[in-house]
Amino acid sequence: MTPSSPHLTHRDAGAEPQVCTIVPPYLLRRLARLEDPPLLDAAGAARHALDHLERIHAQRRGLRSSVTPPVTRTGLSRTISDAEHGETLPGTPVRTEGTPAVDDAAVNEAYDGLGHTWDFYADAYGRRSLDGNDLPLDATVHFGQQYDNAFWNGERMVFGDGDGEVFVSFTSALTVIAHELTHGVTQYSANLVYQGQSGALNESVSDVFGVLTEQWVRGQDAASADWLVGAGIFGPRIHGTALRSLAAPGTAFDDPALGKDPQPAHLDGYVDTAEDSGGVHLNSGIPNHAFYLAAVALGGHAWERAGQIWYDTITSDRLPASADFARFAQETLDVATDRYGADGEEVRAVTDAWAGVGVTPSKTARAADPPTGG
């Protein structure tokens, strides 16, 4: 496999910094309304997570992201810090690159997850860290009291511990870690606007490469993988397997507390909403399922051909930051043709995959709504 040349800088240095969370606001809002006594703590934790999300968006509005000047870096460099249940970042450094495991599972899981994600991008696509230039990977664990989320804040990974009832762990799921770090890859490559369809594509890209990282670590092929994002983060009383399913969007959970997974798998089910930056965590199910269909049709290791096409797409200078589903679909077809030839099975698989979710490829991107944060 010939690796693509990674982008080394932020595509749009004037973009508004985004805070991207693994648990979508619509789930937190539902939990916040719970009145069932066994879940009152979870309801309070969800309300706090929503309040915190509003505060950090308010703090970041009006800020402009900046390009880090090129520096000489060498390989993987991780620093894990402990917030000690406070909400001041970065916290106290507790494990750095090359040091042995500590007596804290969350620290070690975060350390390992960052390393697996770095190794995956380097091995599969020749990309050295999130920016392609050995950007150090930083993370903070034990953020807040019973904090019901994990997020990428434009600079680092941040993990809460969950409320202990609905959410019990965020560092234990490699798909969560790789998903959030991939927001950093997108930040330094496609820089997809976090609103509407381009925002849903931003979330979908993180889901896609989150599951591919896990499949790469496990050596799984497309047919044997579970295609789940966030498996293992729910408590035992929750009726659900994960936050999202690429194989079957809308089936990841069905629980009295959480409701039924609302993700659509087809454009016919597209959700028009002003919430969650235009439904970025909902409508991501549509391009998610398109990737799954392409990967299964091609077979073998999904990160190789299907993943390569998606990676080429997000690192292509032709993809606009405001790309909608149709424009993104067209770019996947164009890069598949460039890499594998117009008559190859890769182009047929990608064509059929987008048709399977109701998206017609188009060279013209619909203008994105202005970003509101998410």
Q: What is the pLDDT of residues 120-137, one digit of tens each?
A: 999 999 999 999 999 999
Residues of the chain with pLDDT under 70: 1-17, 37-38, 56-73, 365-374
Do 176 and 224 reside in the same domain of the chain? no
- Nearest to 203, CA basis, from 285, 267, 312: 285
Does any domain span residue 200?
no
Domain boundary among 146, 163, 187: 187
Which residue type occupies 233?
I
Q: Are 26 and 145 contained in the same domain?
A: yes
Would you say residue 177 lies in a domain?
Answer: yes
Residue 155 domain flag: yes
In a domain, 174, yes or no: yes
pLDDT at 368: 47
- Domain hosting 89: range is 20-187
Same domain, 259 and 181: no
Which pLDDT value is given to residue 274? 92
d(CA 122, CA 129): 7
Predicted local confidence at residue 53, as pLDDT: 75
Residues 347 and 261 grouped into a single domain: yes
Q: Is residue 371 part of a domain?
A: no
Domain count, the chain: 2
Residues 58 and 143 in one domain: yes
Which residue among 187, 212, 246 closes a domain? 187
Residue 97: inside a domain:
yes
Whether residues 123 and 36 share a domain: the answer is yes
pLDDT at residue 365 in the model: 60
Indicate if 55 and 166 belong to the same structural domain: yes
Catalytic positions, written as ranges? 180, 281
Q: Is residue 168 part of a domain?
A: yes
Predicted local distance difference test score (pLDDT) of residue 88: 94
Note whether 166 and 243 are same-domain residues: no
51 and 175 fall within a common domain: yes
Domain containing residue 46: CATH number: 3.10.170.10
Q: Based on the fold, state whether residues 167 and 224 are members of the same structural domain.
A: no
Q: Residue 201 domain-assigned?
A: no
Asked if 266 and 336 sit in the same domain, the reply is: yes
pLDDT reported for residue 37: 61
